[in-house]
Chains A and B, each alone.
Chain A
Amino acid sequence: MGDTEEGRFGLQGGFLSTADSVGSDSERVVILGANGVMGIGAAEVFAAGGYQVTMLARDQQKAADALAEVQALARAEAISESIEIGAYSTDLERSVAGAAIIFEALAEDLELKRSYFERVDRCRRPDSIVATVSSGLSIAAMAEGRSESFRRHFLGIHLFNPPHMIVGTEVIPHTGTDPAVVAKVSALLSKRLGRRLIVAADRPAFAANRIAFKTLNEVAQLVPDYGVVFLDYLIGPHTGRAMAPLATIDLVGWDVHEAIVDNVHAHARDEAHALFKLPDYMKQGIARGHLGDKTPARGGFYRRTEKGVEVLDTASGTYHEAAPPAPIQFVERMKTLHRVGRYRESLAVLKTAQGGEADLARRVVLGYISYALNRVGEVAATNGDIDTIMSYGFNWAPPSVLVDLLGAADTVELMRRYELNVPQLVERAAAEGRKLYAGSVLDFGRTFVG
Chain B
Amino acid sequence: MSRPAVFILGGAQTDFARNWSKENKHIVAMIREAMVGAMEATGIEPRDVQTAHVGNFAAELYTHQGHLGAFVVDVDPALSGIPTARHEAACASGSIAILAASAEIEAGRYDLAAVIGVEQMKTVDPATGGDFLGTAAWYEREAKGVEFPFPKLFGRLGDEYDKRYGLRDEHLAHIAAVNYSNARRNPLAQTRNWYMSESHAARHSRYNAVIGGRIKASDCSQVTDGAVAIFLASERFARQYAQRRGLALDKLPRILGWGHRTAPIEFDTKIAESRGSQYVLPHTRQAILDAFARAGVALEHIAGIETHDCFTTSEYMAIDHFGITKPGESWKAVEEGIIELGGKLPINPSGGLIGAGHPVGATGVRQLLDAFRQVTQTAGDYQVEGARKFATLNIGGSGTTSCAFVIGN
Contacts and interface: CB of A to CB of B under 8 A. Distances in A.
B207 A18 contact: no
Contacts of B174: 5, 9, 17, 19
B308 interface: no
Contacts of A5: 170, 174, 198-199, 202
Given A17-B337, A19-B181, A340 B29 contact: yes
Contacts of A9: 170, 174, 335
| Best-surrounded residue of B182, B184, B208, B343 (most CB of chain A within 10 A) | B184
Contacts of B208: 76
Nearest to B178: A19
B15 interface: yes
A445 B33 contact: yes
Interface string A309-346: 00000000000000000000000000100111110000
A226 interface: no
B32 A341 contact: yes
| Best-surrounded residue of A194, A335, A442, A450 (most CB of chain B within 10 A) | A442
A11 B336 contact: yes
Nearest to A448: B23
8 contacts: A2-B198, A17-B337, A19-B196, A44-B195, A47-B195, A74-B195, A442-B37, A449-B23
B192 interface: yes
Given A15-B335, A76-B195, A440 B40 contact: yes
Which 3 A-B pairs rank lowest in CB-CB distance, beginning with the nearest? A341-B29, A16-B337, A78-B200
Contact of B342 (A18, A74, A341, A441): A18
Interface of B: 12-15, 18, 22-26, 28-30, 32-34, 36-37, 40-41, 74, 170, 174, 177-178, 180-182, 184, 187, 192-200, 202-203, 205-208, 332, 335-337, 340-343, 381
Given A14-B337, A77-B207, A341-B32, A446 B23 contact: yes
A194 B174 CA distance: 22
A81 interface: yes
Interface residues of A, number: 50
Contacts, number: 156
Contacts of B12: 440, 442
B335 A10 contact: yes
| Best-surrounded residue of A16, A76, A335, A440 (most CB of chain B within 10 A) | A76
Contact of A17 (B196, B340, B381): B340
A12 interface: yes
Given A441-B36, A450-B23, A20 B198 contact: yes
B184 A194 contact: yes
Contacts of B34: 442
Interface in A174-233: 191, 193-194
A348 B11 CA distance: 28
Contact of A19 (B37, B180, B187): B180
A18 B336 contact: no
Given A18-B182, A78-B203, 12 more contacts: A1-B197, A1-B199, A17-B340, A45-B193, A71-B207, A74-B207, A79-B200, A338-B24, A341-B29, A442-B14, A442-B37, A450-B24
B192 A194 contact: yes
Given A48-B194, A440-B40, A339 B181 contact: no
B333 to A, nearest CB: 11
Interface in A391-450: 440-442, 445-446, 448-450
B381 A20 contact: no
A164 interface: yes
B381 A191 contact: yes
Interface of A: 1-2, 5, 8-12, 14-20, 22, 44-45, 47-49, 71, 74-79, 81-82, 164, 167, 191, 193-194, 237, 335, 338-342, 440-442, 445-446, 448-450
Contacts of A339: 24-26, 29
A9 B32 CA distance: 47
B332 to A, nearest CB: 8
Nearest to A16: B337
Contact of B178 (A12, A14, A18): A18
Contacts of A340: 25-26, 28-29, 32, 74
B217 to A, nearest CB: 9
A335 B24 contact: yes
A446 to B, nearest CB: 5
B343 A16 contact: yes
A76 B202 CA distance: 12
Contacts of A441: 33, 36-37, 40
Contact of A77 (B14, B200, B337, B343): B200
Contacts of A191: 381
B117 to A, nearest CB: 15
Given A17-B177, A20-B198, A47-B195, A8 B24 contact: no
Given A440-B40, A449-B24, A450-B23, A20 B177 contact: yes
A5 B197 CA distance: 11
A19 B335 contact: no
A18 B340 contact: yes
A339 B24 CA distance: 6
A78 B40 contact: no
B24 A48 contact: no
Contacts of B177: 17, 19-20
A164 to B, nearest CB: 7
Contacts of A446: 15, 18, 23
A76 B343 CA distance: 27
Contacts of B13: 442
| Best-surrounded residue of B25, B182, B342 (most CB of chain A within 10 A) | B25
